[in-house]
Amino acid sequence: MVMSLKLERSALNPLFGPNPQHLWESRYVFNPAVVYDGSVFHMLYRAQGADMVSRMGYAVSLDGLHFNRMEKPVFSPAVKEELYGVEDPRITKIGNKYYMTYTAYSPEDIKIALASTDNFFRWKRYGIILPNFDPNKDAVLFPEKIVGKYVMLHRDPPSIWIAYSDDLIHWNGHKKIADPIKNHWENEKIGAGGPPVKTPYGWLLVYHAVQKHAPEPSRLTYRLGFMLLDLKDPSKVIKRTSEPVLEPKEEWEIFGGVPQVVFTDALIDYQDQYLIYYGAADNYIALASCPKQKVFDWINES
Ligand code: BMA
C-alpha cells in the first residue's frame, strides 16, 4: 500500500512575521535555520527591510514555538561578495561549533559561503567555499564525517549535488545525486532543505521542489518533499516521496513577498517528532511537524 506522508502545520502559525519597528526586518522574514541544543532552540532567520538587503536575525525559544527576537541583526553583509545580502542560512553542529552555510549575493555572483560561531553573535567567516559554482544555493553540511570526509549537498541548478572535504573549506568529488522530475510538482529545480538527519535507515533529507507552470512560465510554486540517502554513501538516493509533504495552502503561504512558496532550511530531530521550520511566501516564519514513526513507515513500506 502506498501511503501519503504529509506534514502537519503548527496551530500557532505563522510563528512570526516582519517587525515594522525594525528597519532591517520591516518587510519580510523567512527561511530560518534552527538548531536544538538539548534545551534551547536557536534560530537564525533571513530578514529584509527598507533597503531589501538580506540580513540575519537571531531568535531563541525553550519550546520551539514561542521565539524571542533580538533588536539587531546578528549577521549582516560585510564583504563585497555579500553586497546585496546574506541569504538562506543552514546550520550544522560539527564538534562543538556551529557552522553556517549561506548564499552570498552580490552584483556579480550568487555563491555559497561558510561561517562558524560558538554563540550566534560572534562569527568567523571562511569566505566563498564553492568558487567555481555560480549561481549556487542550498548548501547543507552533514553533521558528521562519513567514511573519513566532511560531506555537503549543494545545488548546481537544477539538481542536488554532493561534495567532499577534509577541512570544510576545500571541496571536491562533486557529483550530481538527484534531478528534477517531470511531474506536477518538481519539474523545474530541486534543492536541499535542512542538514540531513540520521535515522536507522539512512540520512533523512527534506528538500524543496519547484514547479514551473507551463502557461505562465514566470509563476513558480515551491513545495517540500523527503529523500532518504544511504548512510555510508549519501550520494545514493534510496527513496524519494512521490507526492509533496507540504505545499502552499494557507493564505500566508499563498500571498506574500513571493507567492506560493514553502521553503525550508531546517529539519530537527525532536523527541518523537521531526520538526520542519519554513519560510512562507518569503514573508513569514512557520513550523510543521511529522511523527518519526510516520516517516519510518514511509521508509519501510514496499
Ligand atoms: C529561492 C531562494 C529562496 C526563496 C525562493 C522563493 O531561489 O532565493 O530564498 O525562498 O527562491 O522566492
Enter the C-alpha cell of residue 33: 535555520
How sure is the predictor about 219, in pLDDT bands with cuts at 50, 70 and 90? confident
| Closest protein CA for atom 9 of ligand 1 | 88
Does the beta carbon of 277 lie inside 6 Å of ligand 1? Answer: no
| Proportion of the chain above pLDDT 70, given as a percent | 99
Nearest-angstrom CA–CA distance, 39 and 173: 37
Pocket test for ligand 1, best of 46, 155, 222 (most atoms within 8 A of CB): 222
Bridge partners for 262 per DSSP: 280
Q: Is the dihedral of CA 157, 158, 162, 168 positive or negative?
A: positive
The residue among 54, 34, 53, 36 whose CA lies nearest residue 44 is: 34
pLDDT per residue as tens digits for the range 37-60: 999 999 999 999 999 999 999 999
What is the C-alpha separation between 245 and 184, in angstroms, rounded? 14
Which pLDDT value is given to residue 1? 53
Would you state the CATH architecture of domain 18-300? 5 Propeller (2.115)
Predicted confidence (pLDDT) at residue 259 exceeds the cutoff of 90: yes
Residue 2 Cα to ligand 1 middle (Å): 31
Ligand 1 near 48 CB (within 6 A)? no
Lowest mean per-residue pLDDT among 127-141, 143-157, 205-219, 230-244 = 205-219
118 pLDDT tier (thresholds 50, 70, 90): very high
Question: 278 CA to middle of ligand 1, Å?
Answer: 12
pTM, full prediction:
0.97
Q: Residue 129's closest CA among 107, 152, 108, 146?
A: 152
**Grid cell for residue 187:** 519539474
18 Cβ below 6 A of ligand 1:
no
pLDDT in tens, 55-76: 999 999 999 999 999 999 999 9
pLDDT at residue 2 in the model? 57
Please determine, for residue 3, whether its predicted confidence score (pLDDT) is greater than 80: no
Q: What's the first-to-final CA gap in the chain, in angstroms? A: 7
Q: Is the shortest distance between the CB of 258 and ligand 1 below 6 Å?
A: yes
Closest CA to 45 of 18, 20, 64, 22: 18
Q: How far is the CA of 212 from the centre of ligand 1 (A)?
A: 14
Residue 273 bridge partners (DSSP): 270, 291
The DSSP symbol for 82 reads G
Find the mean pLDDT for residues 273-297. 98
Domain boundaries defined on the chain: 18-300
Q: How far is the CA of 20 from the centre of ligand 1 (A)?
A: 22
Q: Which residues pair with 87 in a beta bridge?
A: 103
